[in-house]
């Protein structure tokens, strides 16, 4: 079955396929970064395969990803829901969190130019700035809605309490939090509050940054600048223990007649009709595999077995180191493993 055959899901005021494409991999933190033509080829293939939800951000490649998406879409802009993010950008080669109204407005104007569009369908606050009340940041984004520069507002890496605060200022269309078999943080509040308020939960890194695939990353061969090298779950004994669970999951997927990536994505999509997933990839072959998950139907017992194999109690290591963890607003489980 093709992606076009998948039942649509709501994304704020839009309807999209359950599986979209996160574009970060094409320009940011996962190395080696593909060249521009390779990245453009993946984007063109995504559109040809029916992807109608692309997700980028000002941070990715410090603007390079928005420019790549903008230059590739061309006349096909109207075929999709286009999402980007503000509030976390690159300044003088460093990542900076800035949720001030002036910066949000400037970042939006820059994004419109880079994306070669008159309006961004869904615009997220990428991170909550601890120095700026979320109400103030969302208020600035609400002005962008009024001005016709963006159509809907989202939040990323936020807790249930923050979602409620922001939603009281302006309706929040989507919350983009990390969610997968090995990252269950949304189950501490965000998943339920999104369902309650009619907000879509957009699961980023639904494949566990590559570990929930049949070819998990060989961390020893990754360049030192690759983000995963610094992440506790990909280090030493923790990674070895997590890979042992992945092997069991892979066997379960084969038993069910799907790939591991499709099992992992199907599990995420089973968590509620208000959930969509945006895996990222640099491979057209993997893209086709991921999109296949949108039409996979797995028995409940298979999904339950997958959930029992990998969850917040069995995974080894926290998802972020101390520095990165301090930048997110999401609830967190006690360290497991």
Kindly list the catalytic residues: 60
Phi then psi for 174, rounded to 5 degrees? -150, 150
How far is it, in rounded angstroms, from Cα 252 to Cα 207?
16
Residue identified by tokens 């029992």 is: 308
DSSP bridge pairs for 156: 176
Q: How far apart are CA 204 and CA 45, in angstroms?
A: 20
Q: Please state, as a whole number, how many other Cβ atoms lie within 10 Å of the Cβ of residue 75.
A: 6
CB-facing half-sphere around the CA of 81: CA atoms within 13 A? 25
Instruction: Give alpha helix (H) positions in the chain.
Output: 36-48, 64-73, 101-115, 134-146, 160-169, 190-197, 236-256, 260-269, 284-292, 300-309, 322-325
The label of the residue with tokens 């030493």 reads 236
């Amino acid at each position: 079955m093709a992606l076009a055959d998948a039942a649509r899901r709501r994304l704020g005021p839009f309807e999209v396929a359950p599986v979209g494409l996160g574009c970060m991999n094409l320009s940011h933190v996962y190395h080696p970064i593909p060249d521009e033509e390779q990245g453009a080829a993946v984007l063109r293939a995504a559109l040809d395969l029916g992807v109608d939800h692309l997700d980028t951000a000002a941070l990715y490649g410090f603007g390079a990803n928005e420019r790549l998406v903008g230059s590739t879409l061309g006349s096909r802009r109207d075929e999709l829901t286009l999402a980007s993010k503000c509030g976390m950008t690159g300044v003088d080669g460093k990542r900076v969190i800035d949720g001030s109204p002036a910066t949000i407005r400037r970042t939006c104007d820059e994004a419109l130019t880079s994306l070669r569009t008159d309006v961004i369908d869904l615009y997220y606050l990428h991170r909550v700035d601890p120095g700026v009340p979320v109400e103030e940041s969302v208020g600035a984004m609400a002005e962008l809605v009024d001005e016709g520069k963006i159509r809907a507002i989202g939040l990323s890496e936020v807790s249930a309490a923050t979602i409620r605060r922001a939603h009281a200022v302006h309706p929040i269309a989507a919350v983009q939090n990390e969610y997968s078999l090995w990252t269950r943080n949304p189950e501490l509040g965000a998943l339920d509050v999104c369902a309650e308020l009619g907000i879509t939960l957009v699961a980023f890194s639904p494949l566990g940054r590559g570990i929930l695939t049949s070819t998990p990353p060989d961390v020893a061969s990754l360049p030192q600048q690759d983000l995963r090298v610094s992440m506790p779950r990909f280090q030493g004994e923790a990674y070895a223990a997590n890979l042992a669970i992945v092997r069991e999951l892979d066997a379960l997927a084969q038993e069910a007649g799907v790939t591991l990536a499709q099992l992992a994505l199907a599990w995420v999509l089973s968590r509620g009709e208000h959930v969509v997933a945006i895996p990222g990839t640099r491979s057209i072959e993997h893209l086709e595999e991921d999109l296949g998950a949108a039409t996979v139907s797995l028995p409940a017992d298979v999904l339950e077995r997958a959930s029992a194999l990998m969850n917040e109690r069995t995974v080894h290591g926290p998802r972020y180191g101390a520095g990165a963890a301090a930048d997110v607003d999401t609830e967190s489980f006690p360290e497991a493993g």
